[in-house]
Amino acid sequence: MSVPVFEEYEPAIDCGCAGCAVRRRSAATALPVRRGGHPAAHGARRALVLATAAGVVLSCGAADAAAAVGHAPWAPHADGEADPEPATPQGEKGPLRGTGASGPPSAGAAAPKTTRADIIARAKTWVTAKVPYSMEKYWSDGYRQDCSGYVSMAWNLGSNEWTGSLAAYGTRIARADLQPGDILLFHNPADPSKGSHVTIFGGWTDSARTHYVAYEQARPRTRKQSTPLAYWNNSDRYVAYRYKGVTGGSPGAGSSTAFPGAQRFGPGADNKDVTRLGQMLVERGGKRFYAVGPGPVWGTADRRATQAFQQAQGWRGKEADGIPGPHTWRLLTTGGGRNIPAAGAGGRPNTAVAFPGRGYFKPGQSNSHVDRLGKQLVKKGYGKHYASGPDPRWTEADRRNVEAFQRAQGWRGGAADGYPGPETWRRLFA
C-alpha cells in the first residue's frame, strides 16, 4: 500500500494500538520539521516515519489514515447549507464510548434482530438531534459521530464499525432490491480515508429510481435528503447491503418494490402477495383492522386497511377504493407516504384536499381544480411561469410550474412531466 506522508516526526512508541496512534498523531502536528544534522540521520527518520504511517493505516483503519494524510478543514457554503459531496473521514472499529461498555464485541457475536421501521426510527433520532459530524467524538448513545458510526447506531450493532467492517454485518443485494434500512456502502481499500462513505436507504423519491432518500452522517451534521443513486461521486462503486439481523424481506428474490399486478388482490385472491400487503399495512399503522393477523386470503380487513392507508395520503374516490395499485404498492414497499392515523385521530391526513383525478389537468381543460392547483403552486413558491396569475384554464404555465415543483422533490423523467398525480397533489397541499 502506498502511504503519502507530509511531515517528519518520531513516534513515541512503535505500537499499533489506538492509544499509541493518538500519540503519534499528536506528535505529527506538534513537532516541527527538523533542519540540519547529518543527512543519514534524516534518512533514518524518514524511513521510520514511512514504516510508522503504514502501521497506522493497516492497524487502526481510516481514522489514522486520515490523520496521516491530512484533510483540509471544512468550510460551509455562503448559504450555510451542507456540501452535497462531503469529505467523510472516519474513526476506527471499536467499542461504544461512555455507556459502560468495555472491550470490542466478540468475533462470533450474532447480529441483533431488528426491523426496518426500527432502523429508520433510530436514524431519525440523529436527524432530529442534529448530531454534529466528528470522527473523534461520540454521541450520548456511545456511537461515533461519523458516517459508519451512524450506521452502526441505526443497525444497533453495539459497537462502532467502519466502512471496512460494515459489510460483514450485511448481505450484498442488487440495487433494485433496496428497501428502507438497507445501506449503500463505498469502501476504498487503497486509501480508506479518501471517498469511503456509507448512507442509509430511506426509500425511492421517483418512479424512475434515479433518486432516493438518504440518511447520512456528513458535515456539518446528520441529514436526510434526496440523493442521486448511489451518490454524487463514486456512484458506480457503491454496493447495496441488507443487515443480516433485519426481519422481513429476503435478498436475491427479485425487485422487492415491483408491483405484482392488480389481479393479485381483491375478492377471491389467495396468495403470498396478499400476506405481504397485510404485513406492510400493519407496520404502517393498520394493525387494528386485523383480528388475527394478515394472511394469504383476501378479506375485508385487507380492503379496509388498504383504504385507510390510501386516505392517509389524501386520496379520495377511485384513488382510495381499498385495492392496491402501483402507487399504493410503491409507497408501502419503500416506506414513503403517511402512516395510517390512529382510530379517531384527526389531523392532516383526514383534512387534506382530495386529489380530483388526472383528467382535470390537461390541454383544453378549464375547471376549479386547475385554479386551486395554480394558487397552491404560487403559495408554495412555484408560480414564476405565470404571466398574470393562475386561472381555471390549464396552460403551459401550469405544466411548467408543476414540473418545477416535482423536480424540487428530486423526481426526474416521467415522474416530473408537469402533470399532477396523487403524490404531487398530496405534497402540494400537505
Residue 338 C-alpha from the chain's centroid: 17
pTM value is 0.43
**pLDDT, tens digit (0-9, with 9 covering 90-100), for 76-94:** 333 333 444 455 667 778 8
> What local confidence, expressed as pLDDT, does residue 176 receive?
81
Four-point Cα dihedral 213, 217, 220, 222, nearest 10: 60
pLDDT greater at residue 105 or residue 412? 412
Which cell goes with 84?
A: 452535497
- Report, as an integer, the average pLDDT of 324-338: 84
Instruction: Provide, rounded to the nearest whole percent, the portion of the chain with pLDDT above 70.
Output: 71
217-244 per-position pLDDT tens digit: 999 999 999 999 989 888 888 999 999 9
Sort 140 into a burial class: Cβ within 10 Å, 0-12 / 13-18 / 19+.
Answer: exposed
Nearest-5° angle of CA 258, CA 262, CA 266? 130
pLDDT (tens digit per residue) in 374-404: 999 998 889 999 988 799 999 999 999 999 9
Rg (CA), the chain: 26
pLDDT averaged over every residue in the chain: 76
Q: What is the pLDDT of residue 257?
A: 65
Q: What is the pLDDT of residues 418-428, one digit of tens each?
A: 999 988 988 88
Categorize the per-residue pLDDT at 350 as very low, low, confident or very high, splitting at 50, 70 and 90.
very low
Peptide bond into 132 cis (omega under 30): no
